[in-house]
A and B are shown apart, each in its own frame.
Chain A
Amino acid sequence: MRKRWVIGILAALMVLLSFKKERLFTEPSGWPEAVYDFKRNPPDPAKIEIGRLLFYDPVLSRDSTISCGSCHLQYTAFAHVDHRLSHGISDRIGTRNAPALVNLAWARDFMWDGAVNHLDVQALAPIANPDEMDESIAHVVAKLQKTERYPALFYAAYGDSAIKTEYVLKSLSQFMLTFVSANSRYDRVKKGLDTFTAKEAKGYALFRTHCSSCHTEPLFTNQRYEYNGLPIDDSLQDWGRMRITRRSADSLRFKVPTLRNIEFSYPYMHDGRFKSLHQVLNHYASGIQQAPALPPSLQKGIPLSGSDKAELVAFLLTLTDREFLYNNAFSFRGR
């Protein structure tokens, strides 16, 4: 009898806990399981809120001028609109295009070359980079400790008013993990709640034929490193994944980016060389440069007529998720 009670209470607790996780982090139905290990950093509203404050707080930079939100703007899917290369402290210019931050719970590694192996340690890179925030995490922690607001918030969330690197990084992860974009027109069509126009449907068919081996649904990335035929930019000399693995086979490979919200995440490519989707499609149709790493699907380029390109663009625009782009929970709300 007693055993039954215990089991009953445990079951109720589990339901409650799963409900909590469900509300704070939702895995859209039909999606693969998230990669992020939530057991080590269980979603908590107080921690998400600290993450939101930190994300928009320039205290992370040496001279308090640059926050994460400086280069990752919500309305452009957390990419840096109009900047080919990221723009950091003292007007310094980095070497790569700030990527969109979307569906990060499903990513195994981070950065265009996969240099970062876990979402928790991602923020260390821009904080320390002299062209971005030019600061050290130890000094960030010391600065936060001296503020009026943060020690109390960390105490409420972690039971410790001595702020630790671990809490700062886990809070940033908690906030970024909430960036789930799964309610575009494409998603509603997939659920049977909407329909594609004839043009979008033709674009989707072309997409399935020519693009989806790398931009795999539902995340619209296979999370791998591929060469897509871009000639090297002589001024940047960026060899991509090879810098990390030192394998010549990885020369010029970069992480396949998601296409979700691509309407707003321009400019495109790791160095932001293309301003419009038409420029991107023109590259795949007639700009491919041959190299050993080029996947077979791109070796002859993608044969696209003018109307094919228009249909593909029409489909790509269905990946815009306005609920995501304008979700108040992700926004800067003053300090």
Chain B
Amino acid sequence: MRFFLLYLLFSGVIAARCQEVNVRVTASFSGKPLLLESFYQLPGGDSIAFDGVRFYISDIALYLGDKRVYTEKDSYHLVDVSDEVTTHFRVSATQHFDKIVFHLGIDSATSTSGALGGDLDPGKGMFWTWQSGYINCKIEGRSNRCPTRHHDFSLHLGGYSGADLAIQEIALPVSPGDIVINLPLDKFLAAIDLRRQHTVMSPGPGAVALSKTLAALFEVSR
């Protein structure tokens, strides 16, 4: 009996301390979930539609204050906002936490490690073939604001070395329970100028600037 009570006590403690946390990553436009191939109004009357929004989230960690309480192993997630399977994952928190920290993109060491599998498979269309390196983020679509053929825009953001390093750290305060991380793309379009910033397909200052702008917009929603 005494053992049973002890067991109950322990399992209760463990259950309280080790909890599965669902993480979901979403993209939104004007407060509503983003739909691909759907036209949205931009301030000023222009319209925009997205064909694809894909990005890497890596190196997920949970913090309590300044203390790291959880580090995900082999933490690489290719998120495709149109494919629900890729937007959900689980982390197991062993302690309370009040902050999630992750990276937008792939780090230099991984970018120079040769052929990798899983979400890092270079066949997933997120690896430059003419110049090695992961594309951290692809945002593609069309808008009459773009002075390009078919009004297309293609933002392929990447770069892993020196001043071209495009990976961004993102830290967001969270409350206990499941975490929903949202990327409000209407704010991204308000922060950039599609008339000029419509085609980025190689590492460089353009990709780094857009990556910083994008990373600053991630938010936690409940």
Residues of B close to A244: CB separation below 8 A: 131
Which of B113, B115, B123 is close to A138, meaning CB atoms less than 8 Å apart? B123
Q: How far is the CA of A40 from the CA of B125 in the complex (A)?
A: 23
Q: A40-B113, A40-B114, A170-B115 are in contact. Are A115 and B123 (CB under 8 A)?
A: no
B130 touches A129 (CB 8 A): yes
Is A33 on the interface with B (CB-CB < 8 A)?
A: no
| Closest-CB distance, A138 to chain B (whole angstroms) | 4
**Cβ of A48 to closest chain B Cβ, rounded Å:** 15
Q: Would B122 and A124 count as touching, CB distance under 8 A?
A: yes
Q: Which residue of the partner chain, among B115, B131, B133, B204, contacts A166 with CB atoms under 8 Å?
A: B115
Query: Which of A117, A120, A129 sits near B133, CB closer than 8 Å?
Result: A117
| Interface assignment of A125: CB less than 8 Å from any CB of chain B | yes
**CB <8 Å contact, B132 and A118:** yes
Q: Which residue on B lies nearest to A170, using beta carbons?
A: B115
Residue interface bits B119-131, CB-to-A below 8 A is 1, else 0? 0011111010111
Shortest Cβ distance from B164 into A: residue:
A246
Judge whether B22 is part of the interface by a CB distance below 8 angstroms. Answer: no
Shortest distance between the CB of A211 and any CB in chain B (Å): 30
Contacts of A128 in B (CB 8 A): 129-130
A138 touching B125, Cβ below 8 Å: yes
Contact of B121 among A37, A165, A246 (CB under 8 A): A165
Which B-chain residue is minimally distant from A141 (CB atoms)?
A: B123
Whether A117 contacts B121 in the complex (CB less than 8 A), given A124-B127, A125-B129, A127-B129, comes out as no
Chain B interfacial residues counted at CB < 8 A: 19
> B208 to chain A: closest CB distance in Å?
12
Query: What string of 1s and 0s marks CB contacts (under 8 Å) between A33-44 and chain B?
Result: 000010011000
B75 at the interface (CB under 8 A from A): no
- Cβ of B92 under 8 Å from chain A: no
Contact B131 A121 (CB under 8 A): no
B36 close to A (CB within 8 Å): no
* Nearest-neighbor residue (CB-CB) of A116 within chain B: B132
How many whole Å from B131's CB to the nearest CB in chain A? Answer: 4
| A165-B111 in contact (CB<8A) | no
| A164/B129 in contact, CB under 8 A | no
Q: Chain B residues near A246 (CB, 8 Å)? A: 204
> Which residues of B sit under 8 angstroms from A173, Cβ to Cβ?
114-115
Which chain B positions have C-beta within 8 A of A304?
A: none
Residues of chain A within 8 A (CB-CB) of B43 are none
A164 to B116, CA, bound (A): 10
Which chain A residues (129-181) contact chain B, with CB distance < 8 Å?
129, 136-138, 141, 164-166, 169-170, 173
Q: What chain A residues lie within 8 Å of B113 (beta carbons)?
A: 37, 40, 118
A118 CA to B130 CA in the complex, in Å? 12
A71 within 8 A of B: no
**Any chain B CB within 8 A of the CB of A119?**
yes
A246 to B125, CA, bound (A): 24
Which chain A residues border B117 with CB–CB below 8 Å? 164-166
- B130 touches which one: A115, A117, A141 (CB < 8 A)? A115
Contacts of B177-219 to chain A: CB distance below 8 A: 204
Residues A169 and B114 in contact, CB atoms below 8 Å apart: yes
Q: A115-B130, A138-B125, A165-B121 are in contact. Are A121 and B114 (CB under 8 A)?
A: yes
Set of chain B residues within 8 Å of A124, measured between Cβ atoms: 122, 127, 129
Contacts of B130 in A (CB 8 A): 115, 125, 128-129
B131 closest partner in A (C-beta): A115
Assembly CA distance A169 to B114 (angstroms): 9
**Chain A CB within 10 Å — which of B112, B121, B131, B132 has the most?**
B132
Additional 5 contacts, C-beta under 8 A, given A138-B123, A165-B117, A166-B117? A37-B114, A40-B113, A125-B129, A127-B129, A141-B123
User: Can you pick out 22 interface pairs between chain A and chain B where the beta carbons lie within 8 Å of each other?
Assistant: A37-B113, A40-B113, A115-B132, A117-B111, A118-B112, A118-B115, A120-B114, A121-B122, A121-B129, A124-B122, A125-B129, A129-B129, A136-B123, A137-B122, A137-B129, A138-B123, A138-B125, A165-B115, A166-B121, A169-B114, A169-B122, A244-B131
Interface residues of B (CB under 8 A from A): 111-117, 121-125, 127, 129-133, 204
Report A's interface with B, CB cutoff 8 A: 37, 40-41, 115-121, 124-125, 127-129, 136-138, 141, 164-166, 169-170, 173, 244, 246
